[in-house]
Amino acid sequence: MTFEEAKIKLEGEGQEHLLSWYEELNAEEKETLLRQIDELDLGLLNLLGEGTSETEKGVLAPLGALTIEEIQAKKDDFAKTGIAALKKHKVGAVLLAGGQGTRLGFDKPKGMLNVGVHRELYLFEQLICNIMDVVEQTGEWVPLFIMTSEKNNEDTVGFFEEKNYFGYNKEFVFFFVQKMAPSVSYDGKIYMEEKNRISTSPNGNGGWFISLANAGLLDTIEKLGVEWLNVFAVDNVLQKIADPIFVGAVLENDCVCGAKVVAKADPNERVGVLCLEDGKPSIVEYYEMTDEIIHSRDKDGKLLYNYGVILNYLFRVDVLKKIMSENLPTHIVEKKIPYMNENGEYVKPQELNGYKFETLVLDMIHMMDNCLSFEVVREKEFAPIKNATGVDSLESARELMTKNGIEI
């Protein structure tokens, strides 16, 4: 793209400030900037004008879960089926580690956080430790796909190398890099990061399968015979990965996908709830539900919309391939976005200062014909590290780790 072409593209959208420093740049820097402008999806900015990116929800209905008691009763059967599948490498794990963890405010990739107290224990290390439980049970490595972003790929891969993959077999670890999207100020102006670089951030965790495919990993999946992918977040230290009982339950129930859920701590808990929307499984955010729905109960007094998701899903690969080309909704998310100000200084804001555009893995659930809602014990499987202090923080996660007998 030439300077003139870039100017025309930007002027149409009121984004010509991206070229303010152009004259100061050397030839290589100019090229970098023009390439970024060329690749820029300005269509995303129209979503801001619409006020919100959230689409209207359809008709909601409750979706029960396979409860802890029900799972307990069939545990051995489920485990047997799950282990058999895992022994044949039919299940791969996908670690979503492309996020920026802005709420936590940790400078490095979140997985590099030391969650130990009396010893070094990194978040990545603990996740590998969790997956090793399954490797020990089955005697086979679980193929592990790790999604990073342009911003943290080098650090993440370097860390795994430095730590010798925490004892995991590196032949079964596959990194891939997700896509980026521009970040904008509240008035819709795209931020700059450097004089020759537009501010971009990872475009959400919804594009994980496309990014995996674009990285050429579908061949690997086929070669290994992987038929299911267990997608999970980097920041839940108690995450059970490729859990044979979960896998077995989804398989035995003939479902195309499964989601681990926890019973809500109280009706107003701010979690996405797995339910039905227009007859299909769907995850509906707490702010998308009316008070009436939130508080509705069955005849035994149990909440009808009771099960919150914990970002641990199992998807069938052939179904993922089919829906790959369908668009997921784009969410506009308020974040703290570091940027370069008009004096050319780099600013790291303390407060929210703009929007990022993200697609979310939870929206993939609505593309599935069915989804097994699989209840787990919150205190045993859910210790997310989202915030620096308080709820869902390193502190609360450490407490739960200790309760679960993990030496920290």
Q: Which residues here bind ligand UTP, judged by CB under 6 A?
A: 96-104, 147, 178, 202-205, 233-235, 311, 335, 358, 386
**DSSP assigned state of 264:** -
Q: How far is CA 263 from CA 120, 266, 386, in A?
A: 32, 9, 20
Q: Beta strand pairing status for 200-202 and 180-182? A: antiparallel
Closest distance between ligand UTP and the C-beta of residue 332, in Å?
Answer: 13
Closest distance between ligand UTP and the C-beta of residue 149, in Å?
Answer: 6
CA angle 248, 284, 262 (to 5 degrees): 45
Closest distance between ligand UTP and the C-beta of residue 109, in Å?
Answer: 8
> What φ, ψ does residue 242 adopt, rounded to 5°?
50, 45
DSSP codes of every residue in 82-110 = HHHHHHTT-EEEEEE-----TTTT-SS-G
Q: Which is nearer to ligand UTP, 260 or 386 (CB)?
A: 386
Q: Which is nearer to ligand UTP, 6 or 44 (CB)?
A: 44
Q: Which is nearer to ligand UTP, 125 or 235 (CB)?
A: 235
Handedness of CA 201, 146, 229, 80 (dihedral sign): negative
Closest distance between ligand UTP and the C-beta of residue 100, in Å?
Answer: 5
Q: Would you tell me how many other CB atoms lie within 10 Å of the CB of residue 86?
A: 25
Q: Is 60 helix (H, G, I), strand (E, B) or coil?
A: strand
Residue, CB closest to ligand UTP: 99
Q: Which is nearer to ligand UTP, 18 or 96 (CB)?
A: 96
**Do the beta carbons of residue 97 and residue 147 sit within 8 Å?**
yes
Q: Would you tell me how many other CB atoms lie within 10 Å of the CB of residue 80?
A: 14
Residue among 348, 346, 309, 331 nearest 102 (CA): 348
Tokens 């970002």: give the residue. 311
What angle do helix axes 123-138 and 244-252 make, rounded to 10 degrees?
A: 60
